[in-house]
Amino acid sequence: MDGMFDQRRYLIPFRSSLLPQIFTDTLVIGAGVAGLRAAIAAAAHGECIVLSKGDLKTTNTSWAQGGVAAVTDPADTTESHIKDTIVAGAGLCDAPAVRTVVEQGPARVREIIEWGMRPDRDPAGKIALGREGGHNAHRIIHANGDATGAELQRCLVEKVRGIPAVRIFEKCFALDLITPSEEPGAPVMGAITHHPKYGLQMIWAKATILASGGAGVLYRETTNPPIATADGLAMAYRAGATLADMAFVQFHPTTLYLAGASRSLITEAIRGAGAHLLDNSGHRFMVDVHPLAELAPRDIVSHAIVRQIAKQGGAHVWLDCRHIASFGTRFPGIAALLKRFDLDPALDLIPVHPAAHYMVGGVRTDASTRSDVPGLYVVGEAAATGLHGANRLASNSLLEGLVFGEIAGRVCAEMKQPAGGTNGGKPAGWGGAGRAAPVPVVSDIRPSDRGELDLNDVRSSLRSSMWRNVGMERTGAKLEGVIDMIDFWARYTLDKIFDDPNGWETQNMLLCGAIIAKSALWRTESRGCHFRTDFPEPREDFRVHDLWRRGRVAPLSAPTE
């Protein structure tokens, strides 16, 4: 990257010594499945602070519908789940990450059920297992029909609230990760945060776990809640961490497409229960596209829908659920949503359209969740662990959050144990044991004098442009155009100093939008959920992770494992 994006180390000017100081052992940025699971493990050996920029219900986790994929049925096998994950990942999965998640997943699922999560069960009391696109077995655990995420979030929040060593700071926005200098390899030592009541604060931590979720809000059409503005990816990049595979943004095939309705997800589990996709003439077009028809991997379904929409002159397609028995009890959340728009799934077809859903790329980590910046661990949707490769298998991300969340928390907790070596394995630069003052950090940036800016206009222009040009079908020419445009907007948006989350989020969105577009331009092939109409096939020389680091003009690349 170059230009404006790499100039700013911090979003705001500050002097750490003049701000309130808070000290903890582990700082977890994010209170979704990954952050909460990490906090539970980290708290085994020390104090932990968890940040949530909104309330605890506004997370991608809470909005998850379909479920958690895990091998719990004796008829299913670990090898089958591994194979399905690797097939979906289109040549870019890192095999050790896949094996870790699939093998450790069932234990993590048993554990949350012991902690009080209530999965749906069949009349005999056995856990009911659903099936979703790309899975060759029934292995999706769900709760309250289509409200799995809300139940998982409830359970984890209750568990965390019962641990005295964990403090949750709600509505507390992390602006930037703190490093003692801008030298390469300078360790992360916590974060600078903003709370509407307490203002700016320095939270110093011996280990920082980034669990800040995804980036769906970068796109005009998205299934994601408003918190998904890529803050964690942007702050990690500014702190010197490497981002990987940013071109890979997964689009979900079916969101409700009605004027005036939010783009609510219509879960894939409904297709797992037998729903059909119909074109305008009532033809079930997926049967012509893939042997698994509506249950083909989700990029195949999304692209087939986009092509169908183009054939129909822009009109959406339909989801036919009329033959699904007990829709209202199996999918109560969606039934209630449809009712608000006078739609009855037993009688009416549901208008659907794809939308941006999941950020496959993220901060590159190793199998212990370590980024390449000392002291910074990354989990959940913010991480690129190599599990998903070039495309994510449905319902693998809640599982990933549970597994890698536990690993990150455990690694941080173990690091805090007295170790034989110097500094107990803490990042170099930490001021010492206990609560000694760390090195002072100063950010000296000055505001530009260009005057006011219509920030909401920048944000909505970016979102529209990402949808049109960096969406499901990309070309080199469109990507070059959008990169120039974002660079231009960045010149007069990134030089400003804002004092509230709307401004900071927009700056983060511009940075990550530019990296996604640059990664998509660099990847002159189609693979997984990245599709270039000018390069429609995968290329063997691109079967590598592309890596983006502050201060480097071109990406590095690393082979898959």
The residue count for binding ligand SIN (CB under 6 A) is: 8
Please count the other Cβ atoms lying within 10 Å of the Cβ belonging to residue 125.
6
Please count the other Cβ atoms lying within 10 Å of the Cβ belonging to residue 523.
25
**Residue 381 binds which entry of ligand FAD, ligand SIN, none, CB below 5-8 Å type-dependent:** ligand FAD
| CA–CA dist 30, 170 (Å, integer) | 10
User: Do residues 191 and 177 make contact, with C-beta atoms less than 8 angstroms apart?
Assistant: yes
Interface with ligand FAD includes 149 (CB under 6 A)?
Answer: yes
According to DSSP, the β-strands at 21-29 and 48-52 are parallel
Interface with ligand SIN includes 294 (CB under 6 A)?
Answer: no
C-beta of 267: minimal distance to ligand SIN in Å? Answer: 3
- Residue type at position 397: S
C-beta of 383: minimal distance to ligand FAD in Å? Answer: 8
User: Do residues 520 and 479 make contact, with C-beta atoms less than 8 angstroms apart?
Assistant: yes
**Residue 373 binds which entry of ligand FAD, ligand SIN, none, CB below 5-8 Å type-dependent:** none
**Residue 174 binds which entry of ligand FAD, ligand SIN, none, CB below 5-8 Å type-dependent:** ligand FAD
DSSP string covering 381-420, please? GGEE-SSSTTSPPTTHHHHHHHHHHHHHHHHHHHHHS--S
Q: DSSP label at 3?
A: T
When binding is defined by CB under 6 A, the residue of 26, 43, 46, 67 that contacts ligand FAD is 67
Residue 428, both tokens: 């170099």
When binding is defined by CB under 6 A, the residue of 43, 230, 256, 269 that contacts ligand SIN is 269
Burial 311-324 (b: 16+ CB within 10 A, else e): eeeeebbbbbbeeb
Answer left, alpha or beta for residue 282, where phi above 0 means left and psi between -120 and 50 means alpha. left
What does the H/E/C string look like for 534-554? CECCCCHHHCEEEEECCCCCC
Residues with active-site annotation:
298
According to DSSP, the β-strands at 350-359 and 199-210 are unpaired
Residue 523, both tokens: 């990847």
3-state SS class at 50: strand
Interface with ligand FAD includes 133 (CB under 6 A)?
Answer: no
When binding is defined by CB under 6 A, the residue of 30, 32, 46, 66 that contacts ligand SIN is 66
C-beta of 58: minimal distance to ligand FAD in Å? Answer: 6
Interface with ligand FAD includes 176 (CB under 6 A)?
Answer: no
Q: Of 185 and 274, which has the nearer Cβ to ligand SIN?
A: 274
C-beta of 66: minimal distance to ligand SIN in Å? Answer: 3
C-beta of 123: minimal distance to ligand SIN in Å? Answer: 24
**Residue 60 binds which entry of ligand SIN, ligand FAD, none, CB below 5-8 Å type-dependent:** ligand FAD
Interface with ligand SIN includes 151 (CB under 6 A)?
Answer: no
Interface with ligand FAD includes 66 (CB under 6 A)?
Answer: yes
Interface with ligand SIN includes 394 (CB under 6 A)?
Answer: yes
Residue ranges in 92-111 that form contacts with ligand SIN under rule CB under 6 A: none
User: Do residues 250 and 391 make contact, with C-beta atoms less than 8 angstroms apart?
Assistant: yes
Q: For binding to ligand SIN (CB under 6 A), which residues are involved? A: 65-66, 267-269, 394-395, 397
Q: For binding to ligand FAD (CB under 6 A), which residues are involved? A: 29-35, 51-54, 59-61, 63-67, 148-149, 173-174, 211-214, 223-224, 227, 231-232, 265, 358, 380-382, 395-398, 401
